[in-house]
Amino acid sequence: MVAMNSKVPTRELTSKSAYIALLFALPVLLIFVYLDKWEMGIGAWICTGLVLLVVKSHWDLRQSPWFWLSIGVGFLLQVPIILLSPWRNRGLTGISLLPVAIVDYGLVYGCLKLAEKLASRSEGSNSPG
């Protein structure tokens, strides 16, 4: 029987979640603006917001070290996208970057799904029985 006050983790993302993720990622943009690389900063800001959005959807796994390791791997996978994209190209629009953003989200989401499987596997091996 499930207790009435137990919380079931939600993986639902809303537009409010996206706005909050981008707000929390704003310091990344400000660092790049300070370094006079604001074009690259916008890409880093959006990539960081995507990672935070995926993290929010899997926050129930925060107790697992695999969760934190996968976040680190997710951020490392962002670096080539940020460094190798031609951000100064004025022909590069939001619509043209949408496939890159979807692949980016998929990479980070895949890392966290792998962490979820590893956490459940290690949790199962630690249980007595």
pLDDT in tens, the chain (129 residues): 444 444 555 677 788 988 999 999 999 999 999 999 998 998 899 899 989 988 888 888 888 898 899 999 989 988 988 888 888 888 888 788 888 888 888 988 898 898 888 888 877 766 555
- pTM summary value: 0.79
* Domain edges within the chain: 38-88+95-123
Burial 32-55 (b: 16+ CB within 10 A, else e): beeeeeebbbbbbbbbbbbbbbbb
How far is Cα 46 from Cα 49, in angstroms, rounded to an integer? 5
